[in-house]
């Protein structure tokens, strides 16, 4: 497993990360234990969760129970700001909320520190300076090592970097956003901003909820147990005619080179300049093995240019 530094920090992460959103929601404790053990065996060091994952706290709780002595071997990333109480919808990044949320995450994770604490969603009611000062205090207290953001528009991420610089505060070293061969909106503003301000990109949904694995076929019902089978909204979002057409062109590209669509999905993302690690979830250990192997293909500049032409 290869490693890269995250943004302009000294924090090293594996180029393939484990998304932990399935823990406590799609798989139980024993299945989680098997997935985590396989990830550790493969050299995956970035484990990414959030307080709201696993039906509000389940993912963090399961990670806390299965990591045990291996906690020190990983980069543990979690997030805050999502509503944790039924009936509440506010995305809260106030000082009051952060100081409570971090303690709850630490208890569930059974750890004394969080390696990467991430603002999950923008909070329109809280000034960014208040959020950054609270996070800076957590770093100074030793409860958090680094901070990052997720799902922020480019302008707000840039604003946060300027506030941190002008106020002498720790700044975001990473940004999590959806990015894949089929969803490339981040290229318009977010990626140029991340490059300009030294922010490492952590793409999520790199496989477009499974469409880029090749397991779905146009006009054929999704296999039982898959995301598409249980979520019509995902089908409507990703299984568009334009995406099916592009998918067929990408499959031909892979076939000509003796590669798989999965290999292309990971390796293409890792060829993008600000990307440090590709975060993908797994419900079975075998999926992790495939993800780890998929990242080994080094695409040439000619390959990348051809992929861009296939979008037309």
Q: What would the pLDDT profile of 209-232 be if each residue is shown by its tens digit?
A: 889 988 888 888 778 777 787 788
Going by the DSSP 8-state scheme, the letter that residue 248 receives in this structure is H
Q: Give me the residue label for tokens 């990473």.
A: 174
The neighbour count for residue 195, using CB atoms within 10 Å, is: 13
Q: Using one digit for the tens of pLDDT, what is the confidence trace for 137-194?
A: 999 999 999 999 999 999 999 999 999 999 999 999 999 999 999 999 999 999 999 9
CA separation for the pair 224, 81 (Å, rounded): 33
pLDDT band for position 110 (50/70/90)? very high
CB 81 within 8 A of CB 90: no
Determine contact, residues 94/125, Cβ cutoff 8 Å.
yes
Quick one: pLDDT band at residue 236, thresholds 50, 70, 90? confident
CATH superfamily of 3-210+262-299: NADP-dependent oxidoreductase domain (3.20.20.100)
Nearest partner of 49 among 176, 139, 162, judged by Cα: 176
> How are the residues of the chain apportioned to helix, strand and coil, as percentages rounded to the nearest 5?
50, 15, 35
Please list the active-site residues.
Answer: 53
* Residues shown for the chain: 312
Helix, coil or strand: residue 297? coil
Contact at 8 Å (CB) between 146 and 118? no
* Secondary structure letter of residue 206 according to DSSP: T
pTM (two decimals) = 0.95
In the prediction, which pLDDT does 231 show? 81
Measured distance CA(167)–CA(148) in Å, rounded: 17
What residue segments make up the domains of the chain, in order of their start? 3-210+262-299
**Chain segment 248-288, per-residue pLDDT in tens:** 999 999 999 999 999 999 999 999 999 999 999 999 999 99
């Amino acid at each position: 497993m290869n490693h890269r530094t995250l943004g302009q920090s000294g924090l090293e992460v594996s180029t393939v990360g484990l998304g932990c959103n399935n823990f406590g929601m799609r798989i139980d404790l024993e299945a989680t234990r098997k997935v985590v053990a396989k990830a550790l065996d493969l050299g995956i060091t970035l484990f990414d969760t959030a307080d709201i994952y696993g039906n509000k706290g389940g993912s963090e709780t399961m990670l806390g129970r299965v990591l045990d002595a291996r906690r020190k071997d990983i980069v543990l990333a979690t997030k805050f700001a999502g509503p944790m109480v039924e009936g509440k919808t506010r995305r809260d990044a106030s000082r009051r909320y952060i100081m409570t949320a971090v303690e709850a995450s630490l208890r569930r994770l059974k750890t004394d520190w969080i390696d990467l604490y991430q603002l999950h969603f923008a909070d329109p009611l809280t000034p960014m300076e208040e959020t950054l000062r609270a996070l800076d205090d957590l770093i100074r207290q030793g409860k958090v090592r680094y901070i990052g953001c997720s799902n922020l528009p480019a302008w707000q991420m840039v604003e946060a970097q300027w506030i941190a610089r002008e106020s002498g505060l720790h700044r975001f070293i990473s940004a999590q956003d959806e990015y894949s061969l089929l969803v490339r909106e981040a290229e318009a503003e977010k990626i140029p901003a991340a490059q300009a301000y030294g922010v490492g990109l952590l793409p999520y949904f790199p496989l477009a909820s499974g469409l880029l694995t090749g397991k779905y076929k146009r006009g054929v019902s999704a296999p039982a147990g898959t995301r598409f089978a249980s979520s019509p909204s995902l089908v409507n979002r990703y299984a568009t005619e334009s995406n099916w057409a592009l998918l067929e062109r990408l499959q031909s590209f892979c076939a000509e080179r003796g590669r798989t669509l999965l290999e292309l999905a990971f390796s293409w993302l890792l060829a993008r300049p600000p990307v440090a690690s590709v975060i993908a979830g797994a419900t079975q250990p075998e999926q992790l093995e495939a993800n780890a192997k998929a990242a080994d293909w080094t695409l040439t500049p000619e390959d990348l240019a051809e992929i861009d032409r296939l979008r037309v």
